[in-house]
Chain A
């Protein structure tokens, strides 16, 4: 029982990170119908920018941990958002109206480019981040096994919940969110009604990248190591999460993220660590075969 509880906590933490990345996939898919394959690498860049910011702050002598985390959060979001914007502007915008697989291939190229760009600039070795926050709360103890939720996990879950609430409000209550939903439904009509479609799409990428940046920061805090290759697997799993929840649906992305995190945590806890990635991919395949619209997605109607 204690072991189960611990895996549950670990899975929720992991799921929160996947969910934040998955939102970026789901929003982009909703609005332009493409899989932003480079999104995982934007997350990786976010993780790198956050460790650079931490190192810079420690050199500048910022000793207060909460202040440091807040500063890093802000800078990482801003600079990673610039990457999200640039990726869209360079690799996707010229391809509107091209044949359907063109943006996907361009996105794969972008993903390879970003990985090697970071590898060249920052080196291929694993970058350690010294633990910032130590300690935690002991929940229960039994059979010599202590269930603990540490402060990092609490921060991750709290930040994710806060962001989710803010984000849902942004989409449902603001003019920008309305424009976004309009573009999602009918881009041509939205343009006719005076919505700047290109700008809305750009902002979608910016928001997705900012959330991925938060996920990158959380990842760096949680695991304490970052390298240039983390984006590939994390991106793939987050995409799985987006599909599982129903691509195009924001609550779906979060739900899918949490489910994937739980599946991964329980699979590694009870079966085998080696095959935990296989478990996640198998879920993807099974979902696509049996319920391609995901848990909360709307069925896609094909019109001639």
Chain B
């Protein structure tokens, strides 16, 4: 990233800035007028009525106009005043949002984006637009070694911290499930470079394997867990074999199609899957055969009895927490190890250059297939755990949007970065649980975030798309591998 010289701040071409702002406002009006200006409501006698929201259109257009002017001002070297005004506007809007005005909350978002943008320009002292990207400072990079250990320690101690209650633990389990899924998908997307939009299908296969085996053959969680993973991996091979020859974006759409096919089959195969009602009565996991119950049934001993503890429902939650923690850590350790094995290196090499790999004698289909199957297998394990935790599964839980969420975690984290995925899962899954009131904006922010990350930091929050090994060590090789 080059640093360009500070342009002189003198002389704003006011005319062209104004025209630019007006054009942006015009586009904003065209976008806002039909969709924001009118709301379709039920009219009399089955016809469609309209409600009007012209004030909201005016606010939207004005916001775009002012924002566009401010961006121009930043570009022409007046970042500091913009920063001050935008920061003040953010503060006022946030105060209004806390006081309960929805509109203020919505206005706080563009104001904050503007403030961050201006702040970066002021801080880095550059004006060129291309350089205004979020860059992780070196101090953060240096801390990268210590952070995983700290995270691990925190994760192990988490259930025993004094302020942790059952609700927090539930959220932590959810986040860990997504971390595991993210790490699993990372093998496929981050390492092997195959965009898989149907990952949730394998999660569903794992969950339904357990659900069906439990309902028809009385399997317990620990018996079904390996089978769930194997089954999902098998599906991965079956689905992957015909389609892995395809180019990246075709592959994405085909995997999406497969994900939908599996969901539709689950929805319609009533006899086995229960259709839209799903499967219930899935047994909870036991502690090596010791169930978590208040009172023992037919002369078994419960977990609480065996260890001489007072029964508490939290025991089971803590146990589930550790199960998913261990499962996730297995995926993580596996990934870190396999990156150093020939097959892991072949994945990364394939991601970088398929033709070169082929000429070096790597079989692309088999190599991709192994990544696909292993990633699918981990999703199967996670699915088994999900079924055991919920005790109930239905096709509702396995829609395309879940695949998109998992993909967003991997992308946001920086494809290939293990720690980035943890951070992204905490931000994307954990945060919204605390902001339930804002739930209706959750997916909106989600989509906008995916676009924003791609535009501003296409390599993710903590990007490390560097191959694990390279011929010429970093610094000696070609300049600027990862931004």
Contacts and interface: CB of A to CB of B under 8 A. Distances in A.
A251 interface: no
Interface string A120-143: 111100011110000000000000
B443 interface: yes
19 contacts: A48-B34, A52-B40, A55-B40, A55-B49, A79-B30, A82-B27, A90-B455, A95-B458, A100-B249, A105-B195, A109-B451, A112-B447, A112-B450, A120-B444, A232-B400, A277-B264, A278-B265, A288-B246, A289-B243
B2 to A, nearest CB: 16
Interface in B5-50: 27, 30-31, 33-36, 38-40, 43, 46-50
Contacts of B411: 105
Contacts of B454: 91, 95, 98, 102-103, 105-106, 109
Contacts of A82: 27, 30-31
A99 B458 contact: yes
Which of B33, B40, B50, B451 has the most A CB atoms < 10 Å from its CB?
B451
Contact of B249 (A56, A59, A101, A128): A101
B101 interface: no
A53 interface: yes
Contacts of A118: 35
B237 to A, nearest CB: 15
Nearest to B28: A86
A112 B39 contact: no
Most chain B beta carbons < 10 A, residue from A108, A128, A129, A302: A108
Interface string A34-63: 110000000001001101111110110000
A262 B447 CA distance: 34
A35 B253 contact: yes
Contacts of A275: 264, 268
Contacts of A117: 35, 444
A269 interface: no
Interface residues of A, number: 70
Given A53-B34, A78-B30, 19 more contacts: A35-B253, A55-B48, A56-B50, A59-B49, A95-B454, A98-B458, A100-B249, A105-B195, A106-B451, A109-B452, A109-B454, A110-B447, A110-B450, A112-B446, A115-B443, A120-B444, A128-B46, A281-B257, A281-B260
A94 interface: yes
Interface stretch (B113-121, B322-330, B401-409): B401-409
Given A100-B248, A274-B264, A108 B33 contact: no
A211 interface: no
Nearest to B48: A55
A94 B48 contact: no
B355 interface: yes
A35 B251 CA distance: 11
Contacts of B267: 274
Contacts of A236: 253, 256-257, 260
A44 B164 CA distance: 44
A265 interface: no
Nearest to B401: A112
A83 interface: yes
Given A82-B30, A236-B260, A104 B252 contact: yes
A109 B450 contact: yes
A130 B50 contact: no
Interface in A180-217: none
A111 interface: yes
A282 B38 CA distance: 40
Nearest to B410: A105
A3 interface: no
Contacts of A99: 458
A302 B248 CA distance: 14
A116 B46 contact: no
Contacts of B27: 82, 85-86
A266 interface: no
Contacts of B36: 121
B258 interface: yes
Nearest to B440: A120
Contact of A106 (B193, B355, B443, B455): B455
Contacts of A51: 40, 48
Interface centre among B34, B35, B36, B250 (most CB of A within 10 A): B34
A304 interface: yes
B362 interface: no
Interface in A242-261: 243
A302 B355 contact: yes
A151 interface: no
Contact of A104 (B49, B195, B400, B444): B195
Interface in B361-383: none
B152 to A, nearest CB: 29
Nearest to B452: A109
A292 interface: yes
B261 interface: yes
A284 interface: yes
Interface in B181-214: 193, 195, 197
Contact of A35 (B47, B252, B447): B252
A114 interface: yes
Contacts of B250: 243, 288, 292
Contacts of B34: 48-49, 52-53, 75, 79
Contacts of A285: 242-243, 254, 257-258
Interface string B226-265: 0000000000000000110010111011101110110011
Nearest to B241: A289
A267 interface: no
A120 B450 CA distance: 19
A113 B448 contact: yes
A289 B242 CA distance: 6
A219 interface: no
B260 A277 contact: yes
A159 B389 CA distance: 53
A59 B51 CA distance: 11
A111 B447 CA distance: 7
A101 B248 contact: yes
A48 B443 contact: no
Nearest to A239: B253
Nearest to B450: A109
B443 A116 contact: yes
B434 interface: no
Contacts of B257: 236, 240, 281, 284-285
Contacts of A91: 451, 454-455
